[in-house]
A and B are shown apart, each in its own frame.
Chain A
Amino acid sequence: DAMVIQNPRYQVTQFGKPVTLSCSQTLNHNVMYWYQQKSSQAPKLLFHYYDKDFNNEADTPDNFQSRRPNTSFCFLDIRSPGLGDAAMYLCATSRDLAGGNNEQFFGPGTRLTVL
């Protein structure tokens, strides 16, 4: 089945130690998104790629970076995790950005713990 895969499902890192979360998709979608979701809160968009075109949300901290080396893979790099970065990180894809074709398919998420 076509899907969005996130690895690992659970990630523990130390305060200040760089960490990378990965996402892959078999849907061949143009758009890939990264969201941060903290406990009992709605998902918050960090950035998205339309093909190779990177779009950063204005309030996404510089500590968060992303790479999309090809259509299938997208990575979230947290350069110096703080305690406040502990959250569920969700990857999603959509065929396009335009309404009517922007249904998002989400992965299961990676839960990040910062010690």
Chain B
Amino acid sequence: LAKTTQPISMDSYEGQEVNITCSHNNIATNDYITWYQQFPSQGPRFIIQGYKTKVTNEVASLFIPADRKSSTLSLPRVSLSDTAVYYCLVGDTTGGFKTIFGAGTRLFVKA
């Protein structure tokens, strides 16, 4: 089972680009990498998912190097409302389904 490691917290200012890196050294061949955002007293919300190289959607980009042992979530021009906890998940169905949220990164965006 791939385990993920993320920074516990990060600070940023409005308008800056924020990059949050997740380590998953034991990622398996079939594993996808998924990021979720969670605000206080709400359920997590899907941000982006990828398997390799780069994925971009309307809210974020996900960079995955060739060895796939890490991934970086990039949030362009953050605002105060991006203050939240960001979770990196790695999992698949090989050998039985597993989904384990890592500790998450608490991002605090300041004015």
Contacts and interface: CB of A to CB of B under 8 A. Distances in A.
Contacts of A99: 30-32, 51, 91-93
A110 B34 CA distance: 24
Contact of B43 (A48, A92, A97, A100): A92
Contacts of A111: 41
Contacts of B87: 42
Main secondary structure on B side of the interface with A: loop
Chain B interface category by residue count? 20 to 34
Interface stretch (A11-19, A67-75, A77-85, A101-109): A101-109
Given A42-B87, A45-B99, A100-B51, A109 B93 contact: no
A105 B102 contact: no
Chain A interface category by residue count? 20 to 34
A55 interface: yes
A90 interface: yes
Interface in A23-52: 33, 42-45, 48, 50
B103 A42 contact: yes
Interface string B39-65: 001111110010100000000000000
A90 B97 CA distance: 18
Interface of B: 30-32, 34, 36, 41-46, 49, 51, 87, 91-93, 96-97, 99-104
5 shortest interchain CB distances as A-B pairs: A106-B43, A99-B32, A42-B101, A97-B93, A103-B46
11 contacts: A45-B100, A90-B44, A92-B43, A98-B92, A99-B93, A102-B32, A103-B34, A104-B44, A104-B99, A109-B43, A111-B41
Interface of A: 4, 33, 42-45, 48, 50, 55, 88, 90, 92, 97-100, 102-109, 111
